[in-house]
Amino acid sequence: MDSYLVPAGYGEAELTEKRSRFIGQVWRVETEAEARVHLEEVRKKYHDARHHCWCYVLREGNVLRYGDDGEPQGTAGQPMLNVFLKEEVSNAVCVVTRYFGGVLLGAGGLTRAYGGTAKLALDAAGISRMRLWAVLAVPCPYPLYERMRLLVEKSGGTVESADFGSDVLLTVLLPAEDTAGFRTAVTELSAGSVEVLVEEERFRPGPP
């Protein structure tokens, strides 16, 4: 399966335009049902707001949905959705709540406000790349410990845990496609004394 971009986590941001208050929120989701749960939670939390505009993008089935919730057609949900399409981020839901400030913004003003708030919320959430990662067991003699940690980082991986016994046993997460190169580098570092074992492979978010 190819890698793809998703929100790194939850993000929230606010924007004020001509006294109207816009509150944007972003979550990573896997299904339409999850997306709708977040929308309903926002409607309850900000029950006194005028509008709750929304969009979501799901990779499975190439699902694209949005709603203007009473705003002029094309001024809210679509500009929000465009933010995620431009950034190529999927498996995401965004809700922008508007408290009307008494001054009409016009179609252009609404489009900029809703799209801008969605972008700020996505920036707050951050972006991760979902890809196949290998979970590696790396036995490491104590004299090589620090150099091995640096090698893991240089290879684009992370040390998930370290078990200190007679040797150090590192549990390392590494992009699956980089496993062969990492093994070669470990062999060179340890003069062939350390063997890297692949325990499993799993899809998970990591750096973009």
Distance CA 62, CA 90 (A): 9
In this prediction, residue 2 carries a pLDDT of: 74
Phi and psi, residue 140, nearest 5° = -140, 120
Work out the end-to-end distance of the chain between its first and last CA atoms, rounded to an integer number of angstroms: 16
Q: Which of 76, 93, 91, 98 is nearest to 23 (CA)?
A: 98
In this prediction, residue 27 carries a pLDDT of: 98
pLDDT means over runs of 10, the chain (208 residues): 88 95 97 97 96 96 95 96 97 97 91 98 95 92 93 90 92 90 93 90 78
In this prediction, residue 32 carries a pLDDT of: 96
